A and B are shown apart, each in its own frame.
Chain A
Amino acid sequence: MTVERAISQDTEATVRQHQEHDEAGNSKFGFIVFLLSESVIFLSFFVGYTIFKTTTADWYPEGVTGLETKEPLINTIVLISSSFVIYVAERYLHDKKLWGFRIFLLATMAMGGYFLFGQTVEWSGLPFKFQDGLFGGMFYLLTGFHGLHVLTGILLQGLMLGRSLIPNNYDNGYFGVEATSLFWHFVDVIWIVLYTLIYVWQ
């Protein structure tokens, strides 16, 4: 074997190691790309909402004057706070403290569940339906589509919680948890824009 060949094989080994090591990095990069793309769906709904609201003569259906903002605000605060809770959970996992991770992840799920519960209560008390004009359609479309994302986030968190019970599952990296956490932050940021658009701007 020539020296050159030995060097190149050495490089090859390094390259392979690097690539295998970086698979989690690839996944994270890909997931961020996906979230950016997903945010454009929300963006197009937001743009649609804005266009409809600014160009429609009878924006609210008959008998509707606006939305109650107090209870949704509590909901909002709970959802935003849960972003910090899941961050704490991730830090615990980073420090290999599994019980702390589980407790804080469960707390996040509970807060997400409370948000969905509050959303359901709000929906059931509203005087307009999905079919009631552009406002009814856009309101239920935006909150419902976001609610589906919250539900997905909670299911992902449940999956990560279940996987933490498998021994040594998170010893060699925890991309799933990172992705779940990123997704949760994404859902929160979308909600802030959504809340501003629907509840604040009336």
Chain B
Amino acid sequence: MTNISLEPIEIVRGQPYPGAPDNWKRFFTFSTDHKVIGIQYIVTSFIFFLVGGLFAMIMRGELITPEADLVDRTVYNALFTMHGSVMLFFWTFPVLVGLGNYLVPLMIGARDMAFPRLNAVSFWMIPIAGILMMSSFLIPGGPSQSGWWAYPPVSLQNPTNNLINGQVLWILSVAISGVSSIMGAVNFVTTIFKMRAPGMTWFRTPAFVWSVLAAQLIQLYGLPSLTGGAIMLLLDLTAGTSFFTPERGGNPIVYQHFFWFYSHPAVYVMVLPVFGIFSEVLPVHARKPLFGYRVIAVSSVIITVISSAVWVHHMFASATPPWMRMFFMVTTMLVAVPSGIKVFGWVATIWGGKMRFTTPMLFALGGISNWVFAGITGIFLGSVPIDLHVHNTYFVVGHFHYVLYGAIVMGIYAGIYHWFPKMTGRMYYEGLGKLHFVLTYVGTALIFLPMHPLGLMGMPRRVASYDPEFAFWNVVASIGGFLLGLSTLPFILNMVSAWVRGEKVGNNPWRAYGLEWLTSSPPSVENYEELPLVVSGPYGYGRSEPLVSNVPNPDLTEFSESLTPQEAS
């Protein structure tokens, strides 16, 4: 593998690229530059986010009345299957890979990822797989209707008897995105292990990089299990084997193990980088070092380890023997310890800090508050008696949407706003950003909070019609859902207009401390003119020690002088 981009290095080094008006075409090429690939990932996955959100709003439209009147039941099944699959495989995973792709080489002082061409191949698989999955709307029988987890024997039903059916396309599409994830994970792990700048020891590596590493390690050990299960499911579906076909001696529970062995840790693949974003955003906007940096960094790896042994908590109601329930209940509770350490560290970071309530800070704080709530309902669900009571109800749906939307999507927004000036050299519009935050936060609470009482009342998930006693909370949730749909509009407007004509703000508008802020905005193709020699750890706010020894250090002083009390409030 070579480390050479398509252009001769001598010519383009030191020149900013995406801001130049004639250079937007780069984003439509097979570029090997990690920054171009990062933005390609983010924009592509955001388009899939809008598609998945559209599915969700059709579902909320259906659920606004107790009767099944807006869409057909089979269409509803297809919608929730596609909503879950698109949101996970084509929004949350790739957008975080995109942020990691953009930021990790900058944060560790490398010129690119370890394998740039592999990186580009990983990216281009995502639109291909996504379009393949969407294409299942056009074939006879429509998309898969078995939910994003594709449990057999439901997923083995093939009413059309065609070889190419929705379920087969679903498996192929997930397989392609899986190959992309594995290649990405190999790339990230190698980059983080081997390409850190001279002087950057493990405990000088930013918490975001730690969390990306922890997340990608999960991909490496977990994803092969899902691949194995998916291969067997595909063979059952097409080649006439009977691995998961109960009427022919197969055992569908084994598929559940294969599936959840990956798909529970997959939650941490998504949430760990978001923890990293929180850990980066809070110190910058509270002007204080990250509290307990080492513990926060190591707790990411601890989550990686523990999350490999919690998956059966999804299967408490799958005829799981009591000893197994007990074991996995305890391990599930254990994950709360490293997660709680992180929350404690974040609270202590902002405690007594000079807070700036910028849009990324608001999203980070909102995300953390939602994470605490989601973590508490997670403890509920991790304990066997409550889980058996609310299993397969809206309580579960409310819980994981608080994780995925409340914490993860808000964390992603925080990251995008925070590094937007780095990626474009321009500042987003603060007013639109705050409007976006308010709509998102209120919308999240309106749609996902009512799902908890609904679940406790006993409303099952994945139904197009329901008993009229559940109507009130469903109307509230639907209003929240439409509000969330609305909330993306100011975001899109903000990003597009700020990228085109936002105020140019220089290399380090936040007066932030970190290697990525040493580069120009946007960074040149080779990132650094000279590779930095790192001499101290990250988050040196309020300390006088230098970060690097061979190039100018990030400028923190100007900010504190220009900061007026009004701005600080």
Are chains A and B native binding partners rather than an unrelated pairing?
yes
In the bound complex, do residue B261 and residue A37 qualify as a contact, i.e. CB atoms below 8 Å apart? no
B185 near A37 with CB under 8 A, answer: yes
With A9-B530, A15-B198 as contacts: A29 and B3 at CB distance below 8 Å: no
Given contacts A12-B531, A131-B242, contact A37 B254 (CB under 8 A): no
Residue of B nearest to A134 (CB): B249
Q: Which of the residues B114, B115, B190, B254 comes within 8 Å of A52, measured between beta carbons?
A: B254
Q: Could you list 14 A-B pairs, sorted by A, with CB under 8 Å? A: A8-B550, A9-B530, A11-B198, A15-B198, A23-B2, A37-B186, A41-B225, A44-B225, A44-B229, A48-B258, A51-B254, A55-B251, A58-B249, A131-B242
Q: B224-255 CB contact bits vs A (8 Å, 1 = yes)? A: 11011101100100011111000011110010
Q: List, in ascending order, chain A residues with CB within 8 A of B195's CB.
A: 19, 26
- Most chain B CB within a 10 A radius of its CB, from A16, A37, A131: A37
- If A44-B225, A131-B240 touch, does A37 touch B182 (CB 8 Å cutoff)? yes
Question: Could you say which of B3, B115, B243 contacts A20, with CB atoms under 8 Å apart?
Answer: B3
Closest Cβ–Cβ distance, residue B204 to chain A (whole Å):
16
Is B189 in the interface zone, CB < 8 Å from A? yes
In the complex, chain A residues whose CB is within 8 Å of the CB of B171: none
A37 touches B3 (CB 8 A): no
Residue B1 CB within 8 A of the other chain = yes
Residue-by-residue, is A39-57 near B (CB-CB < 8 Å gives 1, otherwise 0)? 1110111001001100110
Contact at B187–A30, with CB atoms within 8 Å? yes
A12: nearest chain-B partner, CB-CB: B530
B414 beta carbon closer than 8 Å to chain A:
no
Q: In the assembled complex, how far is the CB of residue B109 from the closest CB belonging to chain A, in whole angstroms?
A: 9
How far does the Cβ of A32 sit from chain B's closest Cβ, in whole Å? Answer: 9
Q: Mark A67-82, 1 if CB is under 8 A from B, else 0.
A: 0000000000000000
**In the complex, how many residues of chain A place their beta carbon closer than 8 angstroms to a beta carbon of chain B?**
43
Contacts of B249 in A (CB 8 A): 56, 58, 133-134
Tell yes or no: A25 within 8 A of B by CB.
yes
Is B351 at the interface (CB under 8 A from chain A)? no
Interfacial chain A residues near B309, Cβ < 8 Å:
none
CB distance from B383 to the nearest CB of A (A): 27
Closest Cβ of chain A: how far from B368's Cβ, in Å?
32
Complex alpha-carbon distance, A42 and B105, angstroms: 32
Interface contact A12-B240, CB-CB below 8 Å? no
Which residues between 7 and 39 of chain A lie within 8 Å of chain B, taking CB atoms? 7-9, 11-12, 15-16, 19-20, 22-23, 25-27, 29-30, 33-34, 36-39
Contact B1 A23 (CB under 8 A): yes
Pairwise interchain contact A44-B261, C-beta atoms closer than 8 A: yes
The 8 Å CB contact of B533, one of A8, A23, A25, A58, is A8
List chain B residues, Cβ under 8 A from A27. Answer: 1, 115
Report the Cα distance A103→B385, complex, angstroms.
66
Q: Which of B190, B228, B235 contacts A44 (CB 8 A)?
A: B228
Selected contact of B223 from candidates A8, A37, A52, A55, CB within 8 Å: A37
| Majority SS at the chain A contact face | helix
> Quick one: closest A residue to B530, CB to CB?
A12
CA distance A22 to B3 in the complex (A): 11
> Would you list which residues of chain B between 145 and 186 have a CB under 8 Å from chain A?
182, 185-186
Tell me the bound Cα distance from A124 to B185 in angstroms.
Answer: 39
B186 and A41 contacting across the interface, CB-CB below 8 Å: no
> A97 vs B468: C-alpha distance in the bound complex, in angstroms?
82
Please, what's the 1-or-0 string for B205-227, where 1 marks a CB less than 8 Å from any CB in chain A?
00000000000000011011101
In the complex, A137 has a CB within 8 A of chain B: yes
A23 touches B221 (CB 8 A): no
Given A8-B530, A56-B251, 8 more contacts at CB 8 Å?
A: A19-B3, A33-B220, A37-B185, A44-B229, A48-B254, A130-B239, A131-B239, A137-B235
> What residues of chain B lie closer than 8 Å to A19, measured between beta carbons?
3, 111, 195
Closest residue of A by beta carbon distance from B222: A40
From B186, B227, B231, B549, name the one whose CB has the most chain A CB atoms within 10 angstroms. B186
Write the nearest CB–CB distance from A174 to chain B, whole angstroms: 14
- Provide the residues of chain B in CB contact with A45, threshold 8 Å: 228
Are A134's CB and B242's CB within 8 A? yes
Residue B543 CB within 8 A of the other chain: no
Give the contacting residue for B186; candidates A9, A34, A44; CB below 8 A.
Answer: A34
Assess whether B194 is interfacial by the CB under 8 Å rule: yes
Chain B residues closer than 8 Å to A7, beta-carbon distance:
550
- Which residues of chain A are near B221, meaning CB under 8 Å? 37, 40
Question: Does B323 touch A at the CB level, under 8 Å?
Answer: no
